[in-house]
A = this chain, B = another copy of it.
Amino acid sequence: MHDSKSAYSQIMRVKHFDIEAERMICIMNRVDAIELGLFPLDRAELKVIGGNKRVVTVVDVTQTMVKPNELGVFKDVKEELALKGKSRVRVTPVPQLDSLRYIKKKLDGQELTGSEIRQIVEDIGKNGLSEIEASAFVSGVYIHGYTLNETVAMAKALAENGKMLRITKRPVVDKHCVGGTNGRTTMIIVPIVAAAGCFIPKTSSRSITSAAGTADAMEVLANVSLPMDKIKRITERVGGVIVWGGALDLAPVDDQIIRIEHPFSLDPPGQVIASVMAKKASVGSKYVVIDLPVGPDVKIHTREKAEDMARKFIEVGKRLGMKVEVVLTDGTQPYGQAFGPLLEAKHVLQILEGEFFDQLAQKSCELAGSLLELSRKVKSGKGYAAAKEILQSGKALKKMKEIIKAQGGKCFSSSDLHELKLCANILSKESGRVDKINVRSCSTIARIAGAPGDKKAGLYLFVSEGDIIKQKQPLFRIFSENRRKLKLAVEYAKKARVVETERSVLERIP
């Protein structure tokens, strides 16, 4: 872009700012920027005088914060270059990154090659792209979409850019739920398929907008922050783990892209598929079941979109050497009655202990059955029955206890989990038949009550869809560690239409 860049460099005094920018940035005076032919958001390489360390930084230009011939740097750069108090650095303008040309290409509606996508992922990973640049990329992907080739390339690039789990003794099976609701199917599926002899090193997320993520619920029972080598060892010995993926550096650029998508909830389907399949590839999965809930309040709203996405998941999986089955599920209803880490963990243990067999248990057996069939542990058509047998025979509970123990847990029984004493019941204002339970409102109430930060906070439903209820009958109970939060949650609950009843009289015409 600016031909003068290669011709010129400058030695500058470092001025330190004691703050983490979480990106490699330098700040220079406008005078120096003009001399070096640099503009805000251009890049410059800094090399320590009297040393070998160098780093590429994004340039910010100021008229006030630093003087001419001074270069402002944040902690990140200081650490990277091991700078002392009075260091000097040589500042050299860097020609435009190739990634920027590729992003422009995407904005212009052209297909990117695998190596172009790899370069973009690499540069995002190094924090080499500014937020403006990364956002332009995500916007281009949102508007123009991905071809199948691009989706596969993105999944590969995301996986290969991070660490990989390598388990070779047996093929790895995995499941994933896209934009789900409540109910911890994972904590039921993992012990079932591990008990059947599969390897399932399951990485899960913490809650983003719901009352609990699988990692939050599992953390009630055991340690979920395990290093890679331990995950490998436990999986090979016990058959499965349930851990938090966030600390593992698996496809880390995926998280950066999701952060950029957040303000507009952009979520282009191709990027969602690449993101999920990258996580699966990074743990070495061979057989994968994808759970796609469909409904107005979850990520995928229509059956058609879900079916289209399912076909793409299967095709991308094939190209990545995985056998994928997609299960469309009902995203309009809650799975299980619990919202919040402790309540959901307790609910799962009760199912494993055989206390009841509800919709959550049923859905879990369906998904576990698919995995058993996919990985040829049982014959086609026999998966569900096999999974249910493993659950009801107590083998799944035994396996879950092994997993909890291997992950350093001490809580093995639902009776070890004590609900909070501080709670409030919400009563029905009317009588009628329960027509709809608003899952999102349940999550919100649980969050206001303190979940998932307060592990024991949450909401427990007493009614299900189709139930006939009376006026003043308790609909659900809110648990909280703190009176103020409980009060706010109750206030919100009284206003929200959490449980909708069907009225026999629709309207009275005077």
Q: Which residues of A contact B (CB under 8 A)?
A: 1-4, 7-8, 17, 19-20, 31, 34-35, 37, 39-41, 62, 64-65, 100, 103-104, 107, 109, 130-136, 138-140, 142-144, 208-209, 259-260, 262-266, 440-441, 444, 447-448, 450, 452-453, 488, 491-492, 496
Q: Establish whether residues B31 and A453, one from each chain, have CB atoms under 8 Å apart when the complex forms.
A: yes
**Cβ distance A129 to chain B, nearest Cβ, rounded Å:** 9
Chain B residue, CB-CB nearest to A101: B264
Query: Which of the residues B35, B139, B453 comes within 8 Å of A140, measured between beta carbons?
Result: B139
| Identical subunits present | 2
Query: Which of the residues B34, B100, B453 comes within 8 Å of A35, measured between beta carbons?
Result: B453
Knowing A65-B20, A139-B139, the reply to whether A492 touches B4 (Cβ < 8 A) is yes
Query: Which of the residues B109, B131, B492 comes within 8 Å of A143, measured between beta carbons?
Result: B109
**Cβ distance A134 to chain B, nearest Cβ, rounded Å:** 7
Name, among A31, A131, A133, the residue most crowded by chain B CB atoms within 10 Å (CB to CB).
A131
Q: Establish whether residues A20 and B132, one from each chain, have CB atoms under 8 Å apart when the complex forms.
A: no
**Cβ distance A181 to chain B, nearest Cβ, rounded Å:** 15
Knowing A7-B491, A17-B19, A263-B100, the reply to whether A447 touches B37 (Cβ < 8 A) is yes
Q: Establish whether residues A447 and B262, one from each chain, have CB atoms under 8 Å apart when the complex forms.
A: no
Q: Establish whether residues B262 and A41, one from each chain, have CB atoms under 8 Å apart when the complex forms.
A: yes
The secondary-structure label for the interface of chain A is helix
Contacts of A1 in B (CB 8 A): 265
Q: Establish whether residues B134 and A132, one from each chain, have CB atoms under 8 Å apart when the complex forms.
A: yes
Chain B residue, CB-CB nearest to A33: B453
Contacts of A2 in B (CB 8 A): 209, 444
Contacts of A37 in B (CB 8 A): 444, 447-448
**Cβ distance A378 to chain B, nearest Cβ, rounded Å:** 41
Query: Which of the residues B62, B132, B143, B262 comes within 8 Å of A135, measured between beta carbons?
Result: B132
Chain B residue, CB-CB nearest to A68: B453
Q: Establish whether residues B262 and A39, one from each chain, have CB atoms under 8 Å apart when the complex forms.
A: yes
**Cβ distance A233 to chain B, nearest Cβ, rounded Å:** 28
Contacts of A107 in B (CB 8 A): 139, 142-143, 264, 266
Knowing A109-B143, A140-B139, A140-B143, the reply to whether A132 touches B7 (Cβ < 8 A) is no
Q: Establish whether residues B135 and A444, one from each chain, have CB atoms under 8 Å apart when the complex forms.
A: no
Contacts of A266 in B (CB 8 A): 107, 136
Query: Cα distance A138–B107 when bound, in Å?
Result: 11
Contacts of A452 in B (CB 8 A): 34
Query: Cα distance A453–B492 when bound, in Å?
Result: 61
Query: Which of the residues B7, B103, B131 comes within 8 Å of A131, measured between beta carbons?
Result: B131
Knowing A8-B448, A37-B447, the reply to whether A136 touches B133 (Cβ < 8 A) is no
Chain B residue, CB-CB nearest to A96: B263
Query: Cα distance A488–B3 when bound, in Å?
Result: 13
Q: Establish whether residues B19 and A19, one from each chain, have CB atoms under 8 Å apart when the complex forms.
A: yes
Query: Cα distance A2–B263 when bound, in Å?
Result: 12
Beyond A7-B491, A34-B453, A135-B139, 18 additional contacts (C-beta under 8 Å) are A2-B209, A3-B496, A4-B448, A7-B488, A19-B19, A34-B452, A39-B208, A40-B262, A103-B264, A104-B264, A107-B139, A107-B266, A109-B143, A130-B263, A132-B134, A132-B135, A135-B135, A136-B138
